Amino acid sequence: MKKSLLFFALVFAGYGAVHAQTANTSSVSGVVKEATGQTVKGATIKITHIPSGQVVSGSADAQGKFQISNLQEGGPYKVEVTYIGEKPVVIENIMLKSGESLNINPTFSEGSSTDLDEVVVVGHGIIDIAVGRKTPIAVSTIHKTEIEEKVGAQDITSTLANTPSVYITGQAKGFGESSMTTRGFDQSNTAFLLNGQPVNGMDNGRVYWSNWSGLTDIASLVQIQRGLGSSKLAISSVGGTINFVTKSTDMKEGGFVRTTVGNDMLMKGTVGYSTGMMKNGFAVSAMFTHWSGDGYVNGTQGQGQNYFLSVGYKASEKHNFNLMVTGAPQWHNQGFTSTLDNYLKNGRRYNSNVEIVNGTEVNYRKNYYHKPVANFNWDWTIDDKSSLSTVVYASVASGGGQSKRTEKTNKGPYLSADVNNHQWYGIVSNYNRKLNENLNFNVGFDLRDYKGEHYRQVTDMLGQSSIANVGNVNLGNNVFITETYSTNPWKAFSSQPKSTENRLAWDYEQMIRYGGLFGQLEYAKNGFTAFFQGSVSQQQNSRREYYLEKPENSKSENVNNFGYNTKGGVSYTLGKHSLFANAGYYSRQPYQNNIFMNYRNDVNPYAENEKILGLELGYKFVSRYIDVNVNAYKTTWENRVTGNSKNAVKADVEKYNPTNDPNILAEGDYLYFSNYGVKQNHKGVELDFAARPFSGFTLKGFASIGDWKYDGKSVTIVRNEDRVVLATEETDLTNGKVGDAAQTTYGLGAKYFITKGLSVDGDWRSYDRLYSSRQAGQGKVLELPSYQLVDAGVSYKIDISDKNAISFRFNINNLFNKFYISEATTNIFENTKAGEKNEYWNGINTSNTVLIGLGRTWNASVKFTF
């Protein structure tokens, strides 16, 4: 929850100990409180003597009290009261004489725009949070307190569930399996940044939240910028930009211990400690988490750890350095979509991956991964008008997805993992210069180097002595694998086959090099602002094939693509009202997975730069009692390449494997669909508000109505798990509804402080006009039933002493245990084959492949701060 501060009293006193020293100085004292009446520990009070420029500051103690001494007599003064994550209150033109006492009661409005700059301890010039630009954008921000309270066992994407035009699904597939869309665009087309570092996969743009489970513990805030956003990088921002800002090195000594328990044997423990700023200028913060659980859906057990280390060094007033290392090694068993009929017969916990082996339920589908990330930030305040911020980062990863394999060349089944390793290095640097009182200039660069490795390795022989390795053109047909490799994420880097002879199905490397330049110019005066951004980038893609090509043909050609984007906007603020308009155009390079066809070195003729045009209008109203934001947008996306996957059902096997060869396709196997030449038109209106009608109570709401459609024909290539092409299809998608996200959403949320430290909260959300991701052509697409969800929680905090506190939290998600379809991957209206029945649930043919959302879940936590 956004804390609301009430600056309850500023009592000016001209006498006391300081007055005794000199008659020309004064002091200011007071108490800082929240709107609920609670005092605020650690708020910063800064007083500037305007004529001389003298600045004197202090902070509130454990009781919220402060006293600022040694102020020059006279004025005018400017008083600023700030707190991390909150918008400061600024009081101008205060006159203060010795012996004079003034009472001033400014109010920090709960839910109002926040001063995010106070959160960002490092990387000010790199992290593009909204306050980095004065021209408004469509933005929602979730702070540390709300993240801690509401995430529980969910992915960090759940923090965005109560924001307009955001749809989250997939959690029922297992720990870390969620996905989200923004304004109808999936994760590969929404930019995700970690402290200014891009984290979308460079080969396909995807983000796998199981690799980022640690973010729920280390995030200081999450900010979603829908649409064009404020990022200066030439990144994959079509639907929007999501900024994750982690904790930096804490400058105050202290620590905490937190324990969480939940449904289906969820257990999670976290411990953290910070040294505070030491005499040598260093400060260290560290945190470690262990979690485990059985999962809500049958057979989706998981376990993992999160680690975080941040070392800060303040070399001088002008130079700050921070090194952060974090990672989240984990494994979890997976669930997938199935027919609606299966869920209705077996319950919403049904998992088609579970099979009975020797009388025991077993799920061989398993994801395991370890992705350490390190970044080094340097902030240099060059002078009072210019600064330079730079981040150097590295990400190395290893792991894969395990499944059961059955092939004619082997005597029986075995387990193998499709491995996806990578090494990713980059640097982002931004120079900021204040040209004059009204004009600000930014310029910078973004360099990335990526190498990915992909192959299949045996993880369990299931009783066989060896596994035949066939298909590699560089090996004979009498090669047998006798070694197995671990799926323990901590061993992922060391337990790998070094020899090609032990790599199955495919074996190739992807190389991507990227360089970009960006700049921004912003003008602000008398309530009017205008900005212009531009960037250019060059991306080189190549691959090396070790499985399907001889050594002389193993290296592909270098495919170079030039891209650019430009965006600009204006706004005008008059009192509590702001109007703004933004426009942008992107020419974005295709991802490498779409450049090379058939998982070979063949260059895809359809892979052209994607063209994206975005237009936005917005209105903001901010006051003491209510804040309102209204946004309208239109986004056109051409030349786009999309992809989706599903588990094959009987109809798919009959269609794509007419000979019924189990080596080609069997029920339950993955089918991959790559769609080329797609055009989409997205437009819509969004509303969100926060009302504070009386002390201690906040009411929030949101609504979004979208109209997202396809336009024109697309070519679809269908592949099986071995990446073998099964079919090439052409589909007319004109007027087809974009699926995978509800096009109409709205909801309400409330939080009320019953008494000091005790609060209750609840959220209600409604989803409508949700369509299947699979298009039938001619605008015909399956529409899923609408549904509503209710979440509720209670928090209680006890301050034991100045440094010690204990807090409790209890959450219930899907309070009324609603049974609902969260996504569908087929488009079946009626079965037409003889002997096949047509059964329906809420108008949906039960032969459709769907995913059912989670039922009622709960979690409870206790945190001790010291």
Distance CA 312, CA 567 (A): 35
pLDDT attached to residue 4: 38
Residue 249 confidence class, pLDDT cut points 50, 70, 90: low
Backbone angles phi, psi at 210, to 5 degrees: -60, -30
Grouping H, G, I as helix, E, B as strand and the rest as coil, residue 294 is coil
172 lies in a domain? no
Alpha carbon 600 to chain centroid distance? 32
pLDDT, greater one: 29 or 679: 679
- Band of pLDDT at residue 34, cut at 50, 70 and 90: low
Q: Which one-letter amino acid corresponds to residue 837?
A: K
Tokens standing for residue 327: 């990672």
Encode pLDDT of 680-708 as tens digits.
Answer: 999 999 999 999 898 889 999 999 999 99
- Return the closest-CA partner of residue 850 out of 335, 250, 317: 335
* Secondary structure of residue 588 in the 3-state scheme: strand
Strands lying side by side in the sheet with 74-82: 54-59, 44-49, 74-82, 89-96
861, 808 Cβ separation under 8 angstroms: yes
Domains in the chain, number: 2
Distance CA 361, CA 363 (A): 7
Quote the CA–CA distance of 336 and 345 in Å, as a whole number. Answer: 16
- What CATH number does residue 29 fall under? 2.60.40.1120
- Model pLDDT for residues 556-603, shown as the tens digit of each residue: 999 999 999 999 999 998 888 999 999 999 999 988 988 887 678 888
Are 804 and 746 a contacting pair, CB within 8 Å? no
Pick the residue with more confidence: 605 or 25? 605
pLDDT of residue 622: 86
Residue 656 is assigned to a structural domain of this protein: yes
State the CB neighbour count (10 A cutoff) for residue 493: 14
Greatest alpha-carbon pair distance for the chain in Å reads 101
Q: Three-state SS for 178?
A: coil
Three-class SS of residue 177? coil
> How many angstroms separate the CA atoms of 625 and 627, rounded?
7
In a domain, 239, yes or no: no
Bridge partners for 269 per DSSP: 259, 290
Average pLDDT rounded to a whole number, residues 820-840: 87
CA-based torsion, 710, 715, 718, 724: positive or negative: negative
Compute the average pLDDT of residues 660-674. Answer: 84
Query: What is the predicted pLDDT for the residue at 476?
Result: 82
Q: Nearest-CA neighbor of 601 among 556, 541, 540?
A: 556
Please state the pTM of the whole predicted model.
Answer: 0.82
pLDDT score of 746: 97
Task: Say if CB 256 and CB 864 are below 8 A apart.
Answer: yes
Q: How confident is the model at residue 848 (pLDDT cuts 50, 70, 90)?
A: very high
User: What is the DSSP code (8-state) at residue 103?
Assistant: B
Task: Return the higher-pLDDT residue of 122 and 730.
Answer: 730
Q: Using pLDDT thresholds of 50, 70 and 90, give the confidence band for residue 616.
A: very high
State residue 104's pLDDT score.
Answer: 52
Q: Identify which has the larger pLDDT, 646 or 484.
A: 484
CA 187, CA 182: separation in Å to the nearest integer? 8
Among 108, 128, 144, where does a domain finish? 108
User: What gap in Å lies between CA 445 and CA 234, rounded to an integer?
Assistant: 10
Please give the pLDDT value at position 90: 73
Using the CB atoms, write b or e for 64-75: b if 16+ within 10 Å: bebbbbebbbbb
- Encode 716-732 in three state secondary structure: EEEECCCCCEEEEEEEE
Residue 354: its pLDDT value, please?
Answer: 94
pLDDT recorded at residue 291: 96
- 134 falls within a domain: no
Q: Quick check: is 398 in a domain?
A: yes
Q: Are 77 and 47 in contact (CB under 8 A)?
A: yes
- Give the integer Cα–Cα distance in Å for 186 and 740: 8
Cα 833 from Cα 651, distance rounded (Å) = 10
CATH number reported for the structural domain that contains residue 661 in this entry = 2.40.170.20
Residue 802 CB burial class (10 angstroms; 0-12, 13-18, ≥19): exposed
* Mean pLDDT of the 169-191 span: 90
Helix (H) or strand (E) holding 17: helix 17-21
Structure-token match 């071995």, residue found: 722
Average the pLDDT over each of 119-128, 672-681, 728-737 and give the range with the smallest value: 119-128
**CA 511-552-397 angle, 5° bins:** 25
Report pLDDT for 8: 30
Mean pLDDT of the chain: 85
Please tell me the distance from the alpha carbon of residue 215 to that of residue 308, in angstroms, as a whole number. 10
Give the confidence band of 21 by pLDDT, cuts at 50, 70, 90: very low
Closest CA to 649 of 298, 340, 366: 340
User: Rounded CA gap, 830 and 634, in Å?
Assistant: 35
Residue 216 located in a structural domain: no
What confidence tens digit (pLDDT) does each residue in 744-779 have? 999 999 999 999 889 999 999 999 999 998 876 666
Give the integer Cα–Cα distance in Å for 32 and 59.
10
Mean pLDDT of 773-798: 88
Closest-CA residue to 129 (of 269, 239, 232, 7): 232
Nearest CA among 298, 232, 296, 233 for reference residue 266: 296
**Alpha-carbon dihedral sign for residues 198, 203, 206, 211:** negative
Residue 858's pLDDT is 97
Query: In terms of Cα–Cα distance, which of 796, 788, 763 is closest to 158?
Result: 763
| Six token digits for residue 643 | 């992809």
Residue 458's alpha-carbon distances to 334, 392, 400, 469, 532, in angstroms, are 18, 36, 11, 10, 53
Which residue in 534, 521, 538, 537 sits closest to 583, CA to CA? 534
594 vs 590: CA distance, rounded Å:
6
CB 188 within 8 A of CB 236: yes
**From its phi and psi, is residue 107 left (phi > 0), alpha (psi between -120 and 50) or beta?**
beta
Domain boundary among 58, 89, 108: 108
Domain end call among 88, 108, 128: 108
pLDDT band with cut points at 50, 70 and 90 for residue 37: very low
pLDDT classification of 184: cutoffs 50, 70, 90: very high
pLDDT surpasses 60 at 19: no
Amino acid at site 419: V
The alpha carbons of the chain give a radius of gyration, in whole angstroms, of 28
pLDDT of residue 251: 62
Q: Is the pLDDT of residue 74 over 80?
A: no
The percent of residues above 70 in pLDDT, for the chain, comes to: 87
Do residues 137 and 116 make contact, with C-beta atoms less than 8 angstroms apart? no
- Interatomic CA distance for residues 392 and 514, integer angstroms: 15
Per-residue pLDDT averaged across 159-184, rounded?
92
- Supply the pLDDT for residue 706: 97
Is residue 91 over pLDDT 90? no
Give the side-chain half-sphere CA count within 13 A for 852.
27
DSSP codes, 489-558? GGGTTTS---SGGG-EEEEEEEEEEEEEEEEEEEEEETTEEEEEEEEEEEEEEEEEESSSS-GGG-BPPP
User: Would you say residue 167 lies in a domain?
Assistant: no
Q: What is the pLDDT of residue 550?
A: 93
Per-residue confidence (pLDDT) for residue 824, from 0 to 100: 94
Per-residue tokens: 399: 């792991």
pLDDT band at residue 674 under the 50/70/90 scheme: confident
Token pair recorded at residue 271:
């411990």
Cβ contact 88:81 at 8 Å: yes
Residue 456 is part of which domain span? 254-865
Whether 809 is covered by a domain: the verdict is yes
Query: Three-state SS for 104?
Result: coil
Across-strand partners of 57? 46
**Cβ–Cβ < 8 Å for 702, 745:** yes
User: Average pLDDT in the 828-844 region?
Assistant: 86
**Tens-place pLDDT, residues 129-166:** 665 566 778 888 888 788 888 887 788 888 899 999 99
